[in-house]
Amino acid sequence: MIKVLLQKEALVFRNSYLKTRRQILIALAWLGVGIVVIRWATGEIAEEIRPLLVNIPPTLAVVLITSLFHIILLWLLFATFSLMLREARSKFYHSPELSLLISSPIPANTLFIFRFLLATCFSKGALMNLAVFVLLPLIALGIAGAAPWYYYLFILPVVYPLLTISASLAILLVMILIRVLSTKRIMQAGAVFGFLATGLWVGFFIIGPERILPRLPSWIETAEPVLRIVFPLSDAANALTYLTQGDISFGPLLRLFFAGGIILAGSMLAAKRLYYSGYDRTQTIEISTKKQVERPAREPLSLGRRGNLILTEWMKAARNYEMAQAAVGLLVMLIVYLFMAPVFVLPEPWGGLVPLAHIAVIGFLASGVVAVFFIPAAIREDPKALKQQYSVLKAAPFGGREFIWCYCLAPFLPQLLLGGVILLALNIFMGSSILTILLSLVVFGMLGGTVTLLMLALDMAGYAGQGEAASVTGGVVRNILPWVYYVVALGILAFGQVYTGFEFLGFLHHLPQALMIATSGAVFLALTGFTLYHSFRLGARYWEEMEM
């Protein structure tokens, strides 16, 4: 039975990433880009840390490195715990395939053990978090501390048990809480833990690394009684510290592996006794709590056919409480950027890039904050849910032009309001001229509207069966192409500001900057107009071709 389940997972993986030649090429391209980015990021982090270790005595450098290990691994525990609190809901209670597996001839205990190990040891979200936010700074610390080559071989074996410990305890907690709480409330609790994990990251950048790093050793010393209880964390940090000094200490490693195995096995056995009764209770509660709410009849607003559709989308977005939790992380990142933005000063000719950087970051984060409200929560469990929602409008019927126009304006207007107000306030605070403020708002609006329309057109292409926007490696075309436009369009505007900073473009240096700015602006308008026109036309055509 385990073999059958493994074959199913392998088949899902192959169909998602390696089924066609195009999928394989895209997956390899993503892998190459990831390796390049990680190589660059580790070098940059190492260059920031190395001066701090050179200018202090060796004993104090060891203490500082150990403290950094504690902070990084503590963040891993918090982030994995909060992630698994939320993932347990979909993996164990709301998975679309779960009803089929439970009714299959696979023994219940075998099925649970397989899903438990798959969730705790091979969670995509937890492994991505481990690779990007944990392994990367640990590799950078090794480079900065001139660690021996075998330090890098032991990083994953040291930190992986912490991931499984945190994930298994989180799933066990979900199995316990499901007896008194609904899965929705548990997911909200997971969001709270996620805010705590985000708070560590936010606090680090708001207070400033130069202020935090000198105080880290004293904080770790103060928290030592707690760290003795959470001994796997201390064992992992100490093992990594010994490795940076060229010493392979098997004592902490053996205790870490032993603790990880015991906690994983104990959590699995305890959760197995709780799971199926909790599953039955969850299904009963969620069916019985769907109440019919009687609302008084109201006269419909006379906003016209299109206006009423936009208003309806706004009302649904305002009630999308589950997806609202996803917006909090982006909102926190936006607040962090606003704290840091006033200190961004670049030498000439690169100083002209600062307003464009503000437009790019604020536009990206503000669009993300608003966009998640317009995504049905059920789409995470069934990607076809959005197409079913569109079928109602097709039956109305709504024309393609009307649909594209309304569904583009519905998220774009709140994005323009949120991002525009923040961008305006930031420019006023920084003392920008009126012309700079007006141009920033115009560029921000054109970029946001074009990206929103292009995403919608690619969605329609996928649903209509034209292209592979909704199938290739998780919708990679739909996710990447709009941001390719975003980067290229901003790059065109940036070129008019900094063309004199590139030596190989010396033949352009004699041209006046006003001419180059005007030329780049004209090219930007041409690219934006071309993208808007074709996105609107193709999106409307795909809507008409989409079969329900």
pLDDT of 217 strictly over 90: no
> Residue 522's pLDDT band (boundaries 50, 70, 90)?
very high
48-92 pLDDT, tens digit per residue, is 777 767 666 677 677 778 888 888 888 888 888 878 877 777 777
Q: Please report, for residues 78, 147, 163, 344, 385, the alpha-carbon distance to residue 241 in angstroms, rounded to integers and kept in the order given.
A: 21, 9, 19, 35, 49
Q: What is the pTM of this model?
A: 0.62
Lowest mean pLDDT among 125-129, 347-351, 430-434, 447-451: 347-351
- State the pLDDT at residue 471: 45
Distance CA 548, CA 541 (A): 15
How many CB atoms lie under 10 A from the CB of residue 537? 14
If one compares 199 and 246, the residue with the highest pLDDT of the two is 246
Contacts of residue 163, Cβ cutoff 8 Å, sequence gap at least 6: 76, 80, 126, 127, 130
Q: Tell me the average pLDDT of the chain.
A: 76
Question: Where is mean pLDDT largest: 211-225, 335-349, 404-418, 456-470?
Answer: 404-418
At 385, is the secondary structure helix, strand, or coil? helix
Q: Is the pLDDT of residue 530 over 90?
A: yes
pLDDT at 417: 92
The pLDDT score that the predictor gives to residue 230 is: 73
The answer for residues whose C-beta is within 8 angstroms of residue 190's C-beta and 6 or more apart is 82, 83, 84, 85, 86
237 touches 73 (CB < 8 A): yes
Q: What percent of the chain has pLDDT over 90?
A: 4
- pLDDT of 218 reads 72
* pLDDT confidence of residue 446: 92
302-311, 404-413, 454-463, 506-515, range with greatest mean pLDDT: 404-413
Least confident of 18-27, 59-68, 400-409, 464-473: 464-473
DSSP states along 387-413: HHHHHHHHHTTPPHHHHHHHHHHHHHH
Contact 149, 106 (CB under 8 A): no
Q: Is the omega angle on the peptide bond into residue 397 within 30 degrees of 0, that is, cis?
A: yes
Tens digit of pLDDT for each residue in 302-350? 567 778 888 888 888 887 766 766 677 677 777 777 777 776 666 666 6
Q: Inform me whether the pLDDT recorded for 15 exceeds 60.
A: yes
Contact by Cβ (8 Å): 443, 359: yes
Of residues 291 and 492, the one with the higher pLDDT is 492
> Mind spelling out the 3-state secondary structure of 65-132?
HHHHHHHHHHHHHHHHHHHHHHHHHHHHCCCCCHHHHHCCCCCHHHHHHHHHHHHHHCCHHHHHHHHH
On whether the CB atoms of residues 183 and 281 are closer than 8 A, the answer is no
pLDDT at 204: 60
Q: Are 356 and 494 in contact (CB under 8 A)?
A: yes
Q: Within 13 Å and on the Cβ side, how many CA atoms surround 160?
A: 11
pLDDT tens digits for 114-153?
A: 788 888 888 877 888 787 778 888 888 888 877 888 888 8
Alpha carbon distance 410, 452 (integer Å): 10
Q: What is the 3-state secondary structure (H, E, C) of 481-503?
A: HHHHHHHHHHHHHHHHHHHHHCH
Instruction: Read off the pLDDT of each residue in 397-402 and give the average, rounded to a whole number.
Output: 78
What does the pLDDT read at residue 481?
84
Q: How many CB atoms lie within 10 A of CB 25?
A: 10
pLDDT computed for residue 310 by the predictor = 84
